[in-house]
């Protein structure tokens, strides 16, 4: 099984350090979720793990090899990433976009195969995009487009899947659909999932491992029950909240303080 680790990793842009000398071991065969305030560096970490961003210092090691020295197609057979704001090539249909996920398996001599067709079909099906497969990606709603991109990521059929806010733009039904799908890919196929989520309650429900990022460092990591406490949420997000127990799942449920319509006194 593929492993993904970061050693003494420093990341940034134009000399400006965003992530300072972190070590990170992504638990294999588990679901990990990165949390943290806007701008703390979650996407930066995820992109460097996928080799989309060159570290200022340190290394990312994929399955024992320094990722910087691996061939692009070798990386893409082991690891897929859905970036936070993917840019859709113009004029592509959903199916054409999803087919791009099979690119790592193409070669000068290797023709499109039944296996490629099956992978594309499966990815379209599980993301509920079959009925939209001939539509231009440009013409889709934000949520439909997000699902098309998730389908592309799945068509790549990698053991490690990185997703940056995969539930953004999705209505609640589709948020749960996507997270259930990723949960199944993990449970049934043992895929390693790493994602960024802002919803701490869904993060607590779906994650085996939560990684909280703050002040250029990994502030804390561990099981949701250990990480999602009112103290940590206050430290990481500067937000006061009460942490209760999800009545359906028993996982931590963060209830933010703040203003709003309170009907407690009128409920008997």
Ligand X SMILES: Nc1ncnc2c1ncn2[C@@H]1O[C@H](COP(=O)(O)OP(=O)(O)OP(=O)(O)O)[C@@H](O)[C@H]1O
Query: Closest approach of Cβ 45 to ligand X, in Å?
Result: 7
Parallel, antiparallel or unpaired: strands 192-196 and 160-164: parallel
Q: Which residues within the stretch 6-25 sit at the binding site for ligand X (CB under 6 A)?
A: 13, 18
E strands, 90-159, where? none
Q: Which of 84, 88, 128, 168 binds Mg ion (CB under 5 A)?
A: 84
Helix, strand, coil percent content, the chain, rounded in steps of 5: 40, 25, 35
Q: Which of 5, 24, 36, 254 binds ligand X (CB under 6 A)?
A: 36
Query: Closest approach of Cβ 39 to ligand X, in Å?
Result: 4
Query: Closest approach of Cβ 9 to ligand X, in Å?
Result: 13
Q: Give the C-alpha distances (Å, rounded to integers) separating 35 from 50, 181, 198, 201, 242.
A: 18, 20, 6, 11, 18
Q: Binding to ligand X by residue 39, rule CB under 6 A? A: yes
Q: Which of 15, 38, 260, 266 binds ligand X (CB under 6 A)?
A: 38
Q: Binding to ligand X by residue 40, rule CB under 6 A? A: yes
Q: Binding to Mg ion by residue 43, rule CB under 5 A? A: yes
Q: Binding to ligand X by residue 41, rule CB under 6 A? A: yes
Query: Closest approach of Cβ 13 to ligand X, in Å?
Result: 3
Query: Closest approach of Cβ 57 to ligand X, in Å?
Result: 16
Q: Binding to ligand X by residue 215, rule CB under 6 A? A: no
Q: Which residues within the stretch 42-71 sit at the binding site for ligand X (CB under 6 A)?
A: 42-44
Question: 193 near 31, Cβ under 8 Å?
Answer: yes
Q: How far apart are CA 82 and CA 149, in angstroms?
A: 7
* Closer Cβ to ligand X, 82 or 119, answer by number: 82
Q: What are residue 23's phi and psi, to 5 degrees?
A: -120, 135
Q: Which residues bind ligand X (CB under 6 A)?
A: 13, 18, 36, 38-44, 84
Q: Which residues bind Mg ion (CB under 5 A)?
A: 43, 84
């Amino acid at each position: 099984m593929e492993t993904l680790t970061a050693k003494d990793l420093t990341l940034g842009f134009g000399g400006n350090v965003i992530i300072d000398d972190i070590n990170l071991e992504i638990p294999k065969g588990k679901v990990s979720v990165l949390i943290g305030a806007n701008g703390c560096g979650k996407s930066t970490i995820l992109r460097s793990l996928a080799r989309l961003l060159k570290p200022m210092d340190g290394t990312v090691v994929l399955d024992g090899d320094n990722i910087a020295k691996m061939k692009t197609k070798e990386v893409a057979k082991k690891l897929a990433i859905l970036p936070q704001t993917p840019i859709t090539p113009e004029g592509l249909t959903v199916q054409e976009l999803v087919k791009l996920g099979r690119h790592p398996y193409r070669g000068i001599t290797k023709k499109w195969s039944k296996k490629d067709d099956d992978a594309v079909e499966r990815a379209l099906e599980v993301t509920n995009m079959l009925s939209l497969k001939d539509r231009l990606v440009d013409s889709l709603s934000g949520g439909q487009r997000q699902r098309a991109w998730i389908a592309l990521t799945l068509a790549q059929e990698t053991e490690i899947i990185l997703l940056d806010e995969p539930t953004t733009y999705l209505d609640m039904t589709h948020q749960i659909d996507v997270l259930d799908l990723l949960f199944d890919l993990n449970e049934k196929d043992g895929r390693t999932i790493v994602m960024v989520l802002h919803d701490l309650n869904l993060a607590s429900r779906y994650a085996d491992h939560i990684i909280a990022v703050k002040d250029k460092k990994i502030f804390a990591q561990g099981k949701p029950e250990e990480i999602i406490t009112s103290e940590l949420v206050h430290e990481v997000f500067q937000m006061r909240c009460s942490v209760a127990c999800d009545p359906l799942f028993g996982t931590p449920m963060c209830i933010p303080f703040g203003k709003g319509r309170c009907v407690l006194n009128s409920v008997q």
